[in-house]
Amino acid sequence: MKEYRKEIAIGFIPVLLAFLIFAGFPAIPLLLGVFLVAGLLLFAKSRGGVAVSAAGRKRPSRAPQELSFEDIGGQEQAKRELTEALEFLVKREQLSKLGIRPLKGILLTGPPGTGKTLLAKAAAHYTNSIFIAASGSEFVEMYVGVGASRIRELFQEARRQAARQKKDSAIVFIDEIDGIGGKRDGGQHREYDQTLNQLLTEMDGIQGDEHPRVLLIAATNRKDTLDPALLRPGRFDRNIQVDLPDKTGREHILKLHARNKPLAEGASLSKVADETFGFSGAQLESVMNEAAIYAMREECDEIRTEHLSRAIDKVMMGERMDRETTREERERVAIHELGHAIVAETVRPGSVAQVSLTPRGQALGYVRHNPSEDRYLYTKTVLEEQIMIALGGAIAEELNYGGRSTGSRNDFEQATNIVRMMIEAGLSGLGIVHPQALTTEQWSQENANILGDLTERTRDLLGVHLETFRRMLDILIREETLSGEELRKQLQAVA
């Protein structure tokens, strides 16, 4: 019966009105009174239960998901900086005594998936503030003035919700702010220029003594593209870098996402953290989720080490592909990947985690490395070793087949990029020189010198292990995978 109440009311009201008119009640005042009451009810409902997003779409109003800084892993430095910046919303009296101007904006910069949006939500929880979120792309419109009006509505909505819920502050979060905050080229008639001007005006209008206070938090992956007017003090007063997590941070993130997942006794999250250098927080969450999916497919009650290993491969390389390859192609791919693995294990002992012939994404095979430690600075020796590892696949094909294949294209691209890095860092035979001062011929000559020398060194290194190729090749083709431990065992047997 409950589901038909609305329909019954709609049918009953006209009948009631007709009866009252027939009984002698004045029709016009009665109808005006009904419309007035209905309008007031609709207005009250829209004010209390509906919020208007920056894009003009109506959506239900609800409190943001409760998220504290303790629920975010791998960003200890960013969390400290953000917490200090939020003190003006928490310790107002102390700041006013010292005459400190409240911050108006905080800019979070860093690669995708590092937790910038999560930090903004945690900031709202930390300061007990209203949280209003929008994306920079929501303000980009072809119609003049629409984006600017949506900026005004966004800040007005933040103040209205804070007042309605009796909060002292509100946080406005704009993700991908480079969509509207890009550098202007002098043209004042473009729509997103007007949108940016309105955003600047709103930030200038934020006063320290206003109630409720409004703080703008924005996120971007490309800080270098933002307009200087946004970045000056008095607008975005703090710029917090949200980088990819280090090993300790990765392990912390993995533990957070493993809280509701049953792990087998031998499954080591520390080992997973070792093998996921360069992974963002979003990728690490995906690793744990994919590992749980693998366990479910095999009807296992716990997530085992092999599930975690396959999940790392999937997140890193993509889904496994069902590609039919010939015996010759399979053997060539195996030799190519073994070339990478043998060079890597020789110049960096213990660095190979697995060699696989499983096609994933665009790769017919791959080597998963296990760096002993995270690196952020690279010496000439380290870069030369990396080039040798990249060249190892092509050199192994040459030694076994007398020629190369197109599978080395990405390897050569990686090698030439490292050579460019060496030249620009002053680690080449050219010494310290401005890159723009070099001619095309000088670039080509130095590139040829470095790659030629390292190619010969790689060929000499692999030449020692020619007899090992056949033995490991049979294992790899038969099993499709070769663990790092087995690779090291085979190399030690030759030594």
Q: Point out the residues that are catalytic.
A: 337
Determine the Cα–Cα distance for residues 249 and 245; give it in Å rounded to an integer: 5
Give the DSSP letter of residue 267: -
- Cα angle value 485/487/492 (rounded, 5°): 95
Measuring CA to CA, which residue among 51, 52, 13 is closest to residue 33?
13
Q: How many residues are listed for the chain in this entry?
A: 495
- Cα 72 to the center of its chain, rounded Å: 14
> Tokens standing for 280?
């963002």
Q: How far is Cα 472 from Cα 255, in angstroms, rounded to an integer? A: 36
3-state DSSP call for residue 190? coil
DSSP 171: E
Directed axis angle between helix 484-494 and helix 327-347, to 10°? Answer: 80
Cα–Cα distance measured from residue 192 to residue 181, given in angstroms and rounded to the nearest whole number: 8
Q: What are phi and psi of 164, to 5 degrees?
A: -65, -40
Residue-wise burial string across 394-404, b where 16 or more C-beta atoms lie within 10 A, e elsewhere: bbbbbbbeeeb
Pairing mode, strands 366-369 and 352-356:
antiparallel
In whole angstroms, give the CA distance from residue 53 to residue 138.
9
Residue pair 355/367 in contact (Cβ under 8 Å)? The answer is: yes
Local structure of 106: helix, strand or coil? strand
